[in-house]
């Protein structure tokens, strides 16, 4: 008979870890006597990161005494005690191989339902002092699982655990965990798992996404690293925007409309500087066009505007990015601000070239008519489309500023697919405005650093721009964070590229920090890397899990 051996609770606390302050509820200790279990947690317990933990579907974490015995042997540890794996209930029985998603159990006065395996979070490794612990839990098929509370009530160490119902499809916790995190998942099993009513919505969504890849996802870049191209023509679009046609000595792969290229400029006495620019012209295989806005402190934009001439050689990375048109029916909304017009202009070129019959709604905002780049070119392209309409807004003109009310007044169809590009505040505002009128298929492009996803890590008092790491400079390979515009020499003291990025205040995204969850996957523009810890399921070629990767040569990352 399965039994509840220990009830463990702990309120979130701030912990200093690797130069960060982590707000976490991973530190739990056993409590004596009856404890009330409520819909969202156990009395006296709390979760520090409610995005990854807690809520109705992750109210109670369960881990097994048998797994404690297993890890004592595997790790050579004799100090493991209930609560150290972050669980609320330490139980005997209920192995991850036997318990199935949707199984229901009565413990004391309460009834519970199994909803999902453990979240692969780095904090269990932090708690145990073993950085690779999230990876080990998955690799050894011992993740533990979460309960949903169906009936609130009191529980107490020593209570028997009685199964009251079996879950649909009889898929075990270990099997479902492996489907998401291990190589060669059982696709039929994933389909069945996604159908289980008890499965947490987040896990169901992950399976749906894995089974139905994003149709907008593009192919792998046509070449690794950089290849020289020459400037074939230069055309001024406005006082601070100039277009440059790029030519090569051999045929070029046709880019997808909306993709971008990374440009590398070498100037005397300085390390190479990188910048990404959308391809703004018609998608062809004989030339690429980029359009560069002159920025007061932009090294690359200043070089283009003041140094580059026809015939100048430029190092170009292959077209990449998943912000591009896909062949799908329904109305199309192309919305941009300022120089953010460039990727949607490439989409407009493609639509005109292919004589698309889709309804196309063009919405653009800029300061005034003098800053309105490509105005005549856009007119020509829209005229070639039978079902196109145009809306221009100028922030300098009274009554012509694009805002929520004017978006609502456009009468946009709710079934439109929207592509947005512009400053981050513009995209945030327009995403909100479009959602308010019922548009849900919204794609956006951001050329600066992506938003950080650092679960539980409290922000510092001051957000710092990316900078070289402190301490003695490294002597190893040059690691370039292309989106952040920073190059730093490698030093083994960082262990992984993720740790180097954090030392430079480059925004990062992670959860497990041990090669399991793939949240940190980053495209490699050029260079090579090695894994200091082998990931359980390596990402696609041309990408790296930076949480467990170190440079093997000079490395350029889309980060």
Q: What is the mean pLDDT of residues 524-542?
A: 92
What's the 3-state SS for 433-455?
HHHHCCCCEEEEECCCCCCCECC
pLDDT confidence tier of residue 13, bands split at 50, 70 and 90:
very high
pLDDT score for 481 = 93
Contact at 8 Å (CB) between 22 and 15? yes
For tokens 């950089």, name the residue: 226
Q: Angle, to 10 degrees, between the axis of helix 341-353 and the axis of helix 375-383?
A: 30
- Residue 419 tokens, joined: 């592509």
Identify the pLDDT of residue 215: 54
Hey, what are 386's tokens?
């039978």
Note whether 332-446 and 476-557 share their fold: no
Question: In this predicted model, what pLDDT tens digit does every residue of 382-417 receive, in sequence order?
Answer: 999 999 999 999 988 776 788 899 999 999 999 999
- CA-based R_g, the chain, Å: 27
pLDDT interval class at 286 (50, 70, 90): confident
Give residue 257's pLDDT band: very low, low, confident or very high (50, 70, 90): very high
The answer to whether the CB of 477 falls within 8 A of the CB of 551 is yes
The CATH number of the structural domain formed by 476-557 is: 3.10.20.30
Task: Please give the Cα distance from 202 to 56 (Å, whole number).
Answer: 12
Report, at the CATH architecture level, how domain 226-320 is classified: Beta Barrel (2.40)
- The residue ranking higher by pLDDT, 267 or 76, is 76
Return the higher-pLDDT residue of 530 and 20: 530
β-strands 29-31, 3-9: how paired? antiparallel
What's the pLDDT at 538? 92
- Residues making up the chain, counted from first to last: 559
Q: What percent of the chain has pLDDT over 70?
A: 97
CA atoms in the 13 A half-sphere facing the CB of 64: 24
pLDDT of 455 reads 73
Please answer whether residues 99 and 44 qualify as being in contact, where contact means their C-beta atoms are separated by less than 8 angstroms: no
Instruction: Indicate whether 281 pLDDT > 80.
Output: yes
pLDDT score for 541: 86
Asked whether 283 and 311 are in contact (CB, 8 A), the reply is no
Q: Are 483 and 448 in contact (CB under 8 A)?
A: yes
| pLDDT given for residue 483 in this prediction | 85
Whether 3 and 62 have beta carbons less than 8 Å apart is answered as no
178 CB-near residues (< 8 Å, 6+ apart): 138, 141, 185
Q: What is the pLDDT of residue 214?
A: 60
User: What is the Cα–Cα distance from 407 to 436, expressed in whole angstroms?
Assistant: 9
Lowest-pLDDT choice from 45-54, 244-253, 357-366, 419-428: 45-54
Q: Which runs of consecutive H residues, i.e. helices, occur in 259-396?
A: 299-306, 341-353, 375-383
Fold of 332-446: Rossmann fold (3.40.50)
pLDDT of residue 183: 93
pLDDT digits (tens, 9 = 90+) for 155-204: 999 999 999 999 999 999 999 999 999 999 999 999 999 999 999 999 99
On the question of pLDDT at 461 being above 60, the answer is no
Confidence class for position 453, pLDDT limits 50, 70, 90 = confident
**Nearest CA among 330, 214, 319, 219 for reference residue 276:** 319
- Give domain limits for the chain: 3-211, 226-320, 332-446, 476-557
CA distance 179 to 169: 15
- Digit-coded pLDDT (tens) for 321-372: 888 998 778 999 999 999 999 999 999 999 999 999 999 999 999 999 999 9
CA distances from 27 to 88, 135, 238, 335, 489 (A): 10, 20, 59, 47, 37
Q: Which CATH number fits domain 3-211: 3.40.470.10, 2.40.10.120, 2.40.33.20, 2.30.30.40?
A: 2.40.33.20
* Reported confidence tier of residue 216, pLDDT bands at 50, 70, 90: low
Q: What is the largest CA-CA distance in the chain?
A: 81
- The per-residue pLDDT for 464 is 75
Average pLDDT, the chain: 92
Taking only the tens place, the pLDDT of each residue in 462-475 is 667 889 998 888 89
Could you tell me which residue, 460 or 131, shows the higher pLDDT?
Answer: 131
Tokens of 72: 């004592």
How does DSSP classify residue 302?
H
């Amino acid at each position: 008979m399965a039994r509840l051996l220990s009830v463990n609770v702990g309120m979130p606390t701030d912990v200093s870890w690797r130069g960060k302050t982590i707000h976490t509820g991973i530190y739990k200790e056993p409590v004596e006597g009856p404890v009330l279990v409520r819909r969202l947690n156990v009395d006296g317990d709390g979760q520090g990161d409610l995005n990854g933990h807690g809520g109705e579907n992750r109210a109670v974490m369960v881990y097994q005494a048998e797994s404690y015995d297993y890890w004592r042997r595997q790790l050579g540890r004799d100090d493991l005690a209930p609560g150290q794996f972050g669980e609320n209930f330490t139980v005997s029985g209920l192995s991850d191989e036997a318990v199935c998603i949707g199984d229901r159990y009565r413990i004391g006065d309460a009834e519970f339902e199994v909803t999902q395996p453990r979240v692969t979070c780095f904090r269990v490794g932090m708690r145990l002092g073993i950085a690779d612990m999230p990876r080990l839990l998955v690799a050894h098929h011992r993740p533990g699982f979460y309960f949903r509370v169906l009936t609130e009530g009191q529980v107490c160490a020593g209570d028997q655990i009685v199964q009251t119902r079996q879950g649909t499809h009889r898929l075990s916790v270990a099997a479902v965990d492996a489907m998401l995190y291990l190589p060669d998942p059982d696709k039929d099993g994933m389909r069945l798992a996604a159908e289980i009513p008890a499965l947490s919505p987040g896990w169901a969504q992950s399976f749906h996404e894995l089974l139905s890849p994003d149709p907008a996802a593009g192919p792998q870049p046509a070449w690794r690293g950089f290849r020289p191209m020459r400037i074939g023509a230069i055309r001024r679009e406005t006082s601070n925007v100039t277009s440059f046609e790029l030519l090569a000595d051999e045929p070029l792969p046709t880019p997808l409309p909306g993709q971008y290229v990374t440009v590398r400029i070498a100037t005397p006495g300085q390390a190479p500087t990188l910048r990404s620019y959308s391809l703004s012209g018609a998608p062809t295989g004989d030339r690429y066009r980029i359009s560069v806005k002159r920025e007061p402190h932009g090294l690359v934009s200043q070089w283009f505007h003041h140094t580059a001439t026809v015939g100048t050689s430029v190092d170009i990375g292959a077209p990449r990015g998943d912000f591009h048109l896909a062949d799908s029916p329904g109305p199309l909304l192309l919305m941009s601000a300022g120089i953010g017009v460039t990727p949607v202009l490439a989409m407009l070129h493609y639509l005109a070239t292919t004589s698309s019959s889709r309804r196309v709604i063009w919405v653009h905002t800029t300061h005034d008519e003098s800053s309105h780049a490509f105005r005549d070119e856009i007119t020509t392209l829209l005229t070639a489309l039978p079902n196109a309409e145009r809306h221009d807004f100028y922030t300098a003109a009274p009554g012509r500023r694009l805002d929520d009310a004017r978006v609502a007044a456009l009468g946009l169809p709710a079934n439109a697919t929207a592509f947005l590009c512009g400053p981050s505040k513009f995209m945030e505002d327009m995403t909100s405005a479009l959602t308010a009128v019922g548009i849900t298929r919204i794609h956006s492009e951001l050329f600066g650093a992506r938003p950080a996803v650092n679960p539980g890590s409290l922000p510092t008092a001051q957000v710092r721009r990316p900078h070289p790491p402190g301490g003695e400079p490294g002597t190893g390979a040059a690691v370039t964070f292309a989106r952040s515009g920073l190059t730093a020499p490698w030093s083994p003291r960082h262990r992984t590229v993720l740790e180097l990025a954090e030392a430079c205040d480059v925004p990062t995204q992670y959860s497990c920090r041990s090669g399991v969850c793939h949240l940190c996957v980053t495209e490699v523009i050029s260079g090579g890397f090695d894994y200091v810890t082998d990931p359980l399921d390596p990402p696609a070629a041309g990408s790296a899990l930076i949480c467990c990767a170190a440079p093997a040569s000079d490395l350029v990352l889309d980060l």
